[in-house]
Amino acid sequence: MPCSPPRRLVLLLCLLSGPGLCAPSATAGDPAAVDPVAKVVRAFLEQRAASLNGTVQVTVAPATATLPPCPAPQAFLPGHGQPLAGRVTVGVRCQDAGASVRYRRARVSVTGDYWVTARPLDAGTVIDADMLARRRGDLATLPDQALLRRDQLLGRETRRPLAAGVVPQSHQVRRPPLIERRQPVTLVAGGEGFRITREGRALDNAGLGGQIRVRLPDRRVVTARVTGPGEARVSY
């Protein structure tokens, strides 16, 4: 029965032959390097995550079972609204006789800049530059509704108190209201060559561009879009 060479002899041969013979394989531990499906999944996620404005790193989990080859694999994101960062599931269509579909798990890490509150903020605070501090980290670990860009936060009003060091989320801020409930409102309607105005009273709070209900003197209620302080436009 043949036997394997002694370990000491193997080590000696490695030393004499140079670093190439006994160096670990470049594909070890990297499913995408030896698995065509994983390679397609990684390229697909890298392309989709490029819009996240950060340094993207994609890790594809090894297949959990031995499957037959997948000719001409095409990747897609199953479901609706699945985030591109963090843990994701990618579908892969195979161009085989049965048009089979398989799924692979992956993790997308995006290292980039984001903004946190530099100090505690009371409800109703209009955010300015001095109230924000820049941080850098994995964007995939932040809440789904986190507002990552500073221009998404400047000039917004906090809906609730925010502690220092938190990433504001979309449901925690709003545009400051230009019209408040019970305030007199000038309604504007018109088109090419004419302009009509009527006075009413607001039934809601709304910021620039927001929709608001306005009660007219005859008790009718119309919906308009806020165009400025105390003014809203009606579309027909």
Q: Is the pLDDT of residue 84 over 80?
A: no
Q: Domain 184-233 - what CATH class?
A: mainly beta
Q: In this structure, which amino acid lies at residue 180?
A: E
Higher pLDDT pick, 194 / 83: 194
pLDDT at 176: 87
Rounded mean pLDDT, 211-229 = 93
Rounded mean pLDDT, 19-46 = 69
Rounded mean pLDDT, 67-90 = 85
Where does the pLDDT of residue 212 fall: very low under 50, low under 70, confident under 90, or very high at 90 and above? Answer: very high
- What kind of fold does domain 116-173 have according to CATH? Type Iii Antifreeze Protein Isoform Hplc 12 (3.90.1210)
Residues in the chain, overall count: 236
pLDDT at 33: 57
Rounded mean pLDDT, 66-84 = 85
SS3 (DSSP) at 76: strand
Q: Is the pLDDT of residue 21 over 50?
A: no
Q: How far is Cα 129 from Cα 112, in angstroms, rounded to an integer?
A: 19
| Strand partners of residue 117 | 132
pLDDT at 27: 43
Q: How far is Cα 226 from Cα 111, in angstroms, rounded to an integer?
A: 38
Query: What is the number of other CB atoms lying within 10 angstroms of the CB of residue 118?
Result: 14
Q: How far is Cα 158 from Cα 181, in angstroms, rounded to an integer?
A: 18
pLDDT at 22: 53
Where does the pLDDT of residue 192 fall: very low under 50, low under 70, confident under 90, or very high at 90 and above? Answer: confident
Residues of the chain with CATH 2.30.30.760: 184-233
Higher pLDDT pick, 235 / 88: 88
pLDDT digits (tens, 9 = 90+) for 103-123: 999 999 889 899 999 999 999
**How does the average pLDDT of the chain come out, rounded?**
84
Q: 34 and 42 in contact (C-beta within 8 Å)?
A: no
In this structure, of 19-23, 71-75, 120-124, 166-170, the range with the lowest mean pLDDT score is 19-23
Query: Tokens 């019970």 — which residue?
Result: 182
Q: Is the pLDDT of residue 125 over 80?
A: yes
pLDDT at 4: 46
Q: Is the pLDDT of residue 26 over 50?
A: no
> For the purposes of burial, counting CB atoms within 10 Å of the CB of 207, is it exposed (0-12), middle (13-18) or buried (19 or more)?
middle
Q: Is the pLDDT of residue 149 over 80?
A: yes
Where does the pLDDT of residue 7 fall: very low under 50, low under 70, confident under 90, or very high at 90 and above? Answer: low
Q: 56 and 48 in contact (C-beta within 8 Å)?
A: no
Q: What region, left, alpha or beta, does residue 29 occupy, with left being phi > 0 and alpha being psi -120 to 50 degrees?
A: left
Rounded mean pLDDT, 165-191 = 91
Query: Tokens 């979309």 — which residue?
Result: 170
pTM above the 0.85 mark?
no
Residues of the chain with CATH 3.90.1210: 116-173
In this structure, of 6-15, 48-57, 73-82, the range with the lowest mean pLDDT score is 6-15
